[in-house]
Structure 1
Amino acid sequence: MATMAVDLVSVMGKKCIIVLDAYFAVGPVFSILQKSLDDQGERLIHVVTRAKSNVVAYLDPPSKTGKPGRPRQYGSRLRLMDLFEAMVGQFEQTTIVLYGQSKEVSFLCLDLIWKPIGEKVRFVLVRDGSEQFILMCSDVELLASDIIRAYSYRFKIEVSFKMLKHLMGVFSYRFWTSVWPRIGKSNVSDLSSIKDQHSQRLIRQTANAIEAFMNFGCIATGILQIISLNFHQTIWGKYLGWLRTVTSTIPSEEVVKSVIQEEYYHNFRSFKNSAIYRIIMSKNRKPTVDAMPLAA
């Protein structure tokens, strides 16, 4: 993921912030992103992620004493989850817009040394009602409220992935080739060992098919969203399902898909001039007279 972000930003040439979940709150991810620099030597990518519950960080090392021996690299060790109680009086209150609504949260912003990279990271301890969690950001100049707001955007991303996976079946592709090296739990797919041109062509075609399938699924999802935003009254008027609670005047992608499927099914022969009609009809198996069973 981090390598993909570096490759993308190197092509774009613009600064960005990537938002990741706690799985990526590890030193190697931060180290990889540190290497993405512009012509002036400034970082192109910063990361906002949720810290693991057992995260620890360190205060600045004490001043040199002048005594013999190696000076300390780190100060006191802090288990950040304990600070929700130990520093409860230092939390600040702020109102930010989350998921389209104004919400009041309390937070504590600390710049501490994170041992996996040996540098300071901005930690934001957030208390949202009964929930409390810790966010990390590699940019120590980014405001705590902006870090919280940036992480809240992950909710939209998760919903999009849910639609792509469960509604559109974008990740249900079945393209493969036997020449592709097998991937196990302890090894990776090393394509550099493939020298045969025929095998390379098959792998390239397979990869292109997978990417095309997923891209078409993303495009189809976008079309459903456009229809939902622009024709929501028509969609609700033709929707035959039942919803226990209607929370928005804008129908979901699932509702739009249901209406389109129903309309297309009942008006299939009205689309005789469309390419999809010709493709479907070309796959139709026409029974022959000899193959039909005779009935008395």
Structure 2
Amino acid sequence: MAAMAAELVSVVGKRCIIVLDAYFAVGPVFLILRQILDDSGNHLLHIVTRAKSNVVGYQDPPPKTGRPGRPRKYGLKLNLMDLFETMAESFEQTTIEIYGQYEEVSFLCLDLIWKPIKEKIRFVLVRDGSECFILMCSDLTLSAQDIIRAYSYRFKIEVSFKVLKHLIGVFFYRFWTSAWPRIGKQNVSDLSAAGDPRSRRLIRQTTNAIEAFVNFGCIATGILQIVSLNFHETIWKKYLGWLRTVTSTIPSEEVVKSVIQEEYYHNFRFFSNSAIYRIIMSKSRKRTVDAMLLAA
């Protein structure tokens, strides 16, 4: 993920911020992203992520005393989760607009040295009601409010993944080839084992099929969203389901898909000139007269 983001930013050439979950709150990810620089030596890619519950930071090392021995690299060690109690009086109150609604949260912003990269990271301790969590950001110039707001966008990402996975089914592909080397307990498949041209061709075709399937699913999701935004009144009129609470005038992707499926089912014969009709009919079973009589 980090390598892919770094490659993308290198092509775009503009300053970007990538928002990730706590799984990526590890040193190697930060180190990979810090290697992307512009012509002036400034970092092009920064990361905002949720820290793990056992994260610790270090204050600046004390000044050199002139005594023999190696100077200290780190200062006082801080267990950040403990600061919600020990430094509760230092938290600031702020109101942040998230998804068009204003929410009041309290936060504490600290720039501390993080051992995995041996450099400073901006930690933002956030208390939202009864929930307490810590955010990390590699950009020391980004304000705490912007860091909180940026991480809140992850909710939209999770909803998009839910639609892609459960509604469209873009990750339910069934493309495989026996030419693909076995991974076993490794994390990366060694494609160098596929030396003959036929195996490489089969692997390439399988990979292209998987990517095409996922991309078509993303396109289908975008079409549902466009239909929802432009024809929301028509969708609601034709929707035959029941919702306990309607929270928006814009129907969800699930509602739009339900209406389209119902309309297509009842008007299937009217689409006889479309490509999808010909594909469906070519895949359907051909029933003979004798088979129909036997069934009767």
Could you state the TM-score of these two structures normalised by the residue count of structure 1?
0.97
Pick which of 176-185 and 281-290 moved more.
281-290
Q: Which blocks of at least 5 consecutive residues in structure 2 are unaligned?
A: none
Q: Does 1:260 align with 2:281?
A: no
The residue that corresponds to 2:55 in the other structure is 55
Is the alpha carbon distance of 1:290 and 1:123 closer, same or farther for their aligned partners in structure 2, counting shifts above 3 Å? same
The residue that corresponds to 2:79 in the other structure is 79
Is the alpha carbon distance of 1:286 and 1:77 closer, same or farther for their aligned partners in structure 2, counting shifts above 3 Å? same
1:170 Cα offset (Å): 0.6
Between the aligned residues of both structures, percent identity stands at 80
The residue that corresponds to 1:9 in the other structure is 9
Q: Does 1:277 align with 2:294?
A: no
The residue that corresponds to 1:111 in the other structure is 111
The residue that corresponds to 1:218 in the other structure is 218
Query: Could you say what secondary structure the match of 2:241 adopts?
Result: coil
Is the alpha carbon distance of 1:294 and 1:87 closer, same or farther for their aligned partners in structure 2, counting shifts above 3 Å? closer
Counting only pairs closer than 5 Å after superposition, residues 13-24 of structure 1 correspond to structure 2 as: 13-24=13-24
AA at the equivalent of 1:281: M
Query: Could you say what secondary structure the match of 2:124 adopts?
Result: strand
AA at the equivalent of 1:62: P
Instruction: Determine the C-alpha separation between the residues in 2 that align with 1:184 and 1:20.
Output: 28
Instruction: Determine the C-alpha separation between the residues in 1 that align with 2:295 and 2:217.
Output: 46
AA at the equivalent of 1:121: I
The question of whether the paired residues in 1 share the 8 Å contact of 2:57 and 2:112 is answered with yes
Query: Could you say what secondary structure the match of 1:105 adopts?
Result: strand
AA at the equivalent of 2:229: L
AA at the equivalent of 2:17: I
Instruction: Determine the C-alpha separation between the residues in 2 that align with 1:294 and 1:127.
Output: 71
1:286 Cα offset (Å): 1.8
Cα distance per residue 1:47-99 (max 9 Å; x no partner): 00000011000000000000000000000000001111111111111111112
1:293 Cα offset (Å): 5.0
The question of whether the paired residues in 1 share the 8 Å contact of 2:181 and 2:193 is answered with no
1:291 Cα offset (Å): 4.6
Q: Which blocks of at least 5 consecutive residues in structure 1 are unaligned?
A: none
The residue that corresponds to 1:36 in the other structure is 36
Query: Could you say what secondary structure the match of 1:167 adopts?
Result: helix
AA at the equivalent of 1:246: V
Cα distance per residue 1:158-183 (max 9 Å; x no partner): 00000000010010000011101122
Instruction: Determine the C-alpha separation between the residues in 1 that align with 2:7 and 2:232.
Output: 39
Is the alpha carbon distance of 1:187 and 1:95 closer, same or farther for their aligned partners in structure 2, counting shifts above 3 Å? closer
The residue that corresponds to 2:173 in the other structure is 173
1:288 Cα offset (Å): 2.9
Instruction: Determine the C-alpha separation between the residues in 1 that align with 2:294 and 2:30.
Output: 73
Aligned residues: 296
1:187 Cα offset (Å): 4.4
Instruction: Determine the C-alpha separation between the residues in 2 that align with 1:134 and 1:218.
Output: 32
Query: Could you say what secondary structure the match of 2:163 adopts?
Result: helix
Is the alpha carbon distance of 1:281 and 1:63 closer, same or farther for their aligned partners in structure 2, counting shifts above 3 Å? same
The question of whether the paired residues in 1 share the 8 Å contact of 2:125 and 2:132 is answered with yes
1:184 Cα offset (Å): 2.6
1:195 Cα offset (Å): 2.0
AA at the equivalent of 1:26: V
